[in-house]
Structure 1
Amino acid sequence: MLLQRSLLASLLIGAALFSTASVAAQDEAAPSGCAAKRQALAEQIEAAKQHGNSAQQAGLEKALSEVTAHCDDASLHKSREEKVLDAQHEVAQREADLRKAMAKGDQAKIDTRKTKLAEAHKELQEAQEQLEH
């Protein structure tokens, strides 16, 4: 039971990440929002069928039914706006942490804080790209 939940959670996360990457890679004429999520999941389902992966197919079909039942473009847009705000807050926090480390002069902490700030900037950029699509 726990293994099935872990597998389903992994599939849903993978589907969401794949959907996000697919949307970012497509041009303006391509579907966006919930339609893009549904399309990406349908493509993944087809790939799972072709590879005979029935467990993955079942998980993706469940994810598709959830998206179909619960996704609407307005709530998806709001959720993406919230992710951008959260990411902006994280960047601000990481910048403050870096300033503190620089004030202390501890090079190891400065390097760590720079790495964390770069990661936060990357997450912010990804969140902004998702919001645009």
Structure 2
Amino acid sequence: MKFLSPLALLTLCGVMAAPLMAAEEAPELTGCAAKKQGIVNQIEQAQSRGNAEQQAGLEKALSEVTANCTDASLKKERENKVLEAKHEVSKRQADLEKAMKNGDPEKIDKRKDKLAESRKQLQEAVDELDK
């Protein structure tokens, strides 16, 4: 009888773990495939909300992505976005330094906030580049 309990427990654990292992094996989509899947998900949400105008716009976007998206062009687009964000950070940094030379605390705080926002956008662009 003691032999049956560990065997039953082992079998139960194996059955319970199978769906988890299957979920881990599914590869994450990248590039144009991920972009298409994101649009498909948005279309489904628009359908569920009954938003026909949004659905039509998303279906047009999906057909554009299907027709024109290549992983190389998407990567280039994302690289350009990173370059633009880096430029914006540099510009904001210069603005902050200028405000600090002038010594106006209100302008300094405003420039710090804008620099922080630019850095956040840069990080988002870099994160998007990896997708």
**Which bin holds the TM-score, normalised by the shorter protein?**
0.7 to 0.9
- The percent identity for this pair of structures is 61
The alignment's C-alpha RMSD in Å is 1.3
> What SS class does the counterpart of residue 50 from structure 2 fall into?
coil
Task: Give unmatched runs, 5+ long, in structure 2.
Answer: 1-25
Structure 1 residues 99-123: Cα deviation after superposition (integer angstroms, max 9, x where no partner)? 1100110111101100110010001
Letter in 1 for 2:74: L
Relative contact order, CA 8 A, sep 6+: which one is greater? 1
Task: Quote the offset at 1:51 in angstroms.
Answer: 2.2
Structure 1 length-normalised TM: 0.76
* Aligned ranges 1:54-133 → 2 under 5 Å: 54-133=52-131
How many residue pairs were aligned? 106
Q: Following the alignment from structure 1 to structure 2, what is the Cα–Cα distance between the partners of residues 50 and 98?
A: 47
Task: Give unmatched runs, 5+ long, in structure 1.
Answer: 1-27
Q: Following the alignment from structure 1 to structure 2, what is the Cα–Cα distance between the partners of residues 119 and 39?
A: 29
> Which structure: larger Rg?
2
Q: Following the alignment from structure 1 to structure 2, what is the Cα–Cα distance between the partners of residues 109 and 41?
A: 41
